[in-house]
Amino acid sequence: EYAKTMGLNLHKSRLLIFAATTLLVGSVTAFCGPIGFVGLAMPHVARMIIRDADHRSLIPATLLCGIAAMLICDIFSKLMLMPINVVTSLLGIPIVIWVVLHNKSIA
């Protein structure tokens, strides 16, 4: 509300932030590589899926999510004859945006 009263166009600002986040996530995922993406994003995905912060269930869920994500990326990589970094980036962008939007709705 304060930004709106100061004359900031909220719709344009949200679109700009969304576009910047998308580009940054794609480039960071490509730079870090597939293993870095899996290590950073999959714990958040596993925690949202099982809705529990207990490490006894979170660690195995993270392992399963990571295995599933890398298997999906590898299958698409082989089918489309593309490097796995590209496929991991394409998968990483929606996942990280989903994590950001989902955490925003919780807060």
Domain coordinates of the chain in residue numbers?
2-106
The answer to whether residues 53 and 71 touch, using CB atoms and an 8 Å cutoff, is no
Conformation bin of residue 50: beta by default, left when phi > 0, alpha when psi is -120 to 50: alpha
What pLDDT is stored for residue 107 in this prediction? 45
What pLDDT is stored for residue 42 in this prediction? 86
pLDDT higher at 89 or 77: 77
pLDDT band, very low/low/confident/very high, at 68 (cuts 50, 70, 90): very high
| Global pTM value | 0.62
pLDDT band, very low/low/confident/very high, at 36 (cuts 50, 70, 90): confident
DSSP state for residue 6 in the 8-state scheme:
T
DSSP string, 17-36: HHHHHHHHHHHHHHHHHHHH
